[in-house]
Chain A
């Protein structure tokens, strides 16, 4: 009898060790992004049949909620097998410098990604000469989306400068249409829009300098940006505090609002809603500048299914994976060797721009500054939406930079 029991236990154990699992942690729950993730799972399952995928998603734009869940798990020694993290400071400052990740340079060499991905993106996933995560996409944050039907109806042209923006907005207002859709419920959306205003007023070099001390936050161009943003806020939907970013996009889809400034995950949302009548241009003053962020996945130290994670990362970096994912998500592949013709029109234009525009890192999406700085920046702009006091806000922005150890 005892022998039977031992045998049974041994069998049970082998079954457990064969039933491979992988837990993939992300904040992709809205329309296009969840579909993109599913595409990746499908490809992974084809080459790794029998591996159970645990889709650990936590809702909330820009990872607002997911990041908190992730931090408790990582600090508590229970990392998911792999997790979504913005390439740049969020990856490097939060997870790499602190020793939570395993370098995956070997994977880049083995798969040849160091040749198929551009230097700009390799730089922001590197630290101390090693590579730390696989960028699965490139998003553009500084896009102005508009409802084509509305623009056609009133004979309007999409604005490219701030002056044109205000002119168009006034016209729309006079016809009773909300000129500028905004959702501020999750707290980061206003700061996202303001980021593009900063780029528009300071240019690529000036904007990049804000995060390393080459541009001072007391600069008169920052004052100008704040004043302009305050004026833009007078054209938004009055219920913006009740809406999240996708609920603001819904206003465009429903034809109640004409424009909004959002990253190109909006295009994934439009596809998911089967809305084809959208047009795009760059945020005012952003011509020739690509405000970039990238979602990436790495290999946490102590991942329970290390080999399976590596197999999944290979899918993420593969041509097939990057194409399938990005078509749905609205972003473009980090690899430069994919067939452009597979993509819808918006992504084709973004892929062209990615190669010829000047690239700046997005702050709200973790590429430009540490998470502490991002949180304080977001809070100050959030307050600015209610109390547009330019002087006080600018002083607060200066103080944050000083607190972050950047000379002013």
Chain B
């Protein structure tokens, strides 16, 4: 027994050391940088307290990017989860060639966000002058011209157009999670419900969806932290957009740190991002640790 324990500790020790350095040490380092006066290429470690954070909230660009993050996260979560659930339910209705459809829906996830960004930049391009390209051209050809839009080049839509690309990429993944969950529901429950005279709608409403709650929670956590930290998709697809209508904190962090050389301010943005994600993840961690202890 004792030897087993020693071996198991030896096995996890390397990863503990690596994580201690490359995650926790660097979080600490970034927090420290965010509290000093490093605003040139050369480090300056004069302590300035929370000044960088105060400046951050006075910065119009940061404020806009925060608002965009809220909009993006809300729309992205709602749309991906709804579409993913619908696809899973449809696929579960014993369609033929299910595995083919499953692959088709899941495939976008195999593509990187950068590729998605470049492709959707052209699909949603409104076209120069009066002529249409991409999806606008499609709408025009099938007689739905009223759906034509400036997409991400319209400051009022901006970040919402980026959501479309993100949902395209991630809803298949949500579908896969839900499908696994649905398959895990014992058939006895369906049979019992049928005996009680429940129709299909009621089966989903009262049995399937409530039982899928842990999966929904998992999806919210995974998609949520992706959306709070999103960078590559926006960077490749739109940049900051007109008047920062597509700007997100990660993009602002990159710009202010590496173009403007305001390293301390960039670190402050990074810490803010960490806090946002923590707000989402920590309750989940506490919840799962508690359930584990109970077991």
| Interface residues, chain A, with chain B CB atoms under 8 Å away | 64, 67-68, 71-72, 74-75, 93-95, 98-100, 176-178, 181, 184-187, 237-243, 251, 256-257, 370-372, 374-376, 379, 382-387
Q: With the chains together, A67 CA to B258 CA distance in Å?
A: 7
Write out the residue numbers on chain B whose beta carbons fall within 8 Å of the beta carbon of A74. 41
Extra A-B contacts (17), CB below 8 Å, given A187-B255, A372-B260: A67-B259, A94-B261, A98-B41, A176-B130, A178-B129, A238-B150, A239-B125, A241-B152, A241-B238, A241-B242, A242-B125, A375-B256, A379-B244, A383-B61, A386-B155, A386-B244, A387-B155
Residue of B nearest to A71 (CB): B258
State how many angstroms separate the Cβ of A132 from the closest Cβ of chain B. 15
Q: With the chains together, A240 CA to B150 CA distance in Å?
A: 11
User: Which residues in window 241-255 of B have CB below 8 A to A?
Assistant: 241-245, 254-255
Whether B191 sits at the interface, judged by CB under 8 Å, is: no
Task: From A242, A257, A383, A387, give the contact of B121 (CB < 8 A).
Answer: A242
Q: Is the CB of A178 within 8 A of B242?
A: no
Whether B40 sits at the interface, judged by CB under 8 Å, is: yes
Q: Is the CB of B243 within 8 A of A386?
A: yes
State how many angstroms separate the Cβ of A72 from the closest Cβ of chain B. 8
Task: From B39, B42, B127, B243, give the contact of A372 (CB < 8 A).
Answer: B39
Write out the residue numbers on chain A whose beta carbons fall within 8 Å of the beta carbon of B60. 383
Residue of B nearest to A257 (CB): B128
Write out the residue numbers on chain B whose beta carbons fall within 8 Å of the beta carbon of A375. 255-256, 259-260, 262
State how many angstroms separate the Cβ of B44 from the closest Cβ of chain A. 11
**Interface readout for B119-136 with A: 1 if CB under 8 Å, 0 if not?**
001001111111000000
Q: Is the CB of A371 within 8 A of B259?
A: yes
State how many angstroms separate the Cβ of B12 from the closest Cβ of chain A. 29
Write out the residue numbers on chain A whose beta carbons fall within 8 Å of the beta carbon of B40. 93, 98, 372
Q: Is the CB of A372 within 8 A of B242?
A: no
Q: With the chains together, A398 CA to B42 CA distance in Å?
A: 26
State how many angstroms separate the Cβ of A105 from the closest Cβ of chain B. 22
Write out the residue numbers on chain B whose beta carbons fall within 8 Å of the beta carbon of A176. 129-130
28 A/B residue pairs, CB under 8 Å, sorted by A: A67-B259, A68-B254, A71-B41, A74-B41, A98-B40, A176-B129, A177-B129, A178-B128, A184-B242, A185-B239, A187-B239, A187-B255, A238-B129, A238-B150, A239-B150, A240-B153, A241-B238, A241-B242, A242-B124, A371-B260, A371-B261, A372-B262, A375-B259, A376-B260, A379-B61, A383-B61, A385-B242, A387-B243
Write out the residue numbers on chain A whose beta carbons fall within 8 Å of the beta carbon of B243. 382-387
Whether B240 sits at the interface, judged by CB under 8 Å, is: yes
State how many angstroms separate the Cβ of A84 from the closest Cβ of chain B. 15
Q: With the chains together, A177 CA to B128 CA distance in Å?
A: 10
User: Which residues in window 234-293 of B have CB below 8 A to A?
Assistant: 238-245, 254-262
Q: With the chains together, A376 CA to B130 CA distance in Å?
A: 33
Q: Given A67-B259, A241-B152, A375-B256 in contact, is the A99-B127 Cβ separation under 8 Å?
A: no
Write out the residue numbers on chain B whose beta carbons fall within 8 Å of the beta carbon of A94. 41, 261
Task: From A93, A237, A384, give the contact of B128 (CB < 8 A).
Answer: A237
Residue of B nearest to A186 (CB): B239
Write out the residue numbers on chain A whose beta carbons fall within 8 Å of the beta carbon of B255. 187, 375, 379
State how many angstroms separate the Cβ of A192 from the closest Cβ of chain B. 15
Q: With the chains together, A99 CA to B42 CA distance in Å?
A: 9
Q: With the chains together, A224 CA to B126 CA distance in Å?
A: 31
Q: With the chains together, A81 CA to B281 CA distance in Å?
A: 43
Write out the residue numbers on chain A whose beta carbons fall within 8 Å of the beta carbon of B121. 242
Write out the residue numbers on chain A whose beta carbons fall within 8 Å of the beta carbon of B239. 185-187, 241
* 10 tightest Cβ-Cβ pairs between the two chains A and B: A386-B243, A68-B258, A375-B260, A241-B153, A98-B42, A237-B128, A386-B242, A242-B125, A386-B155, A375-B259
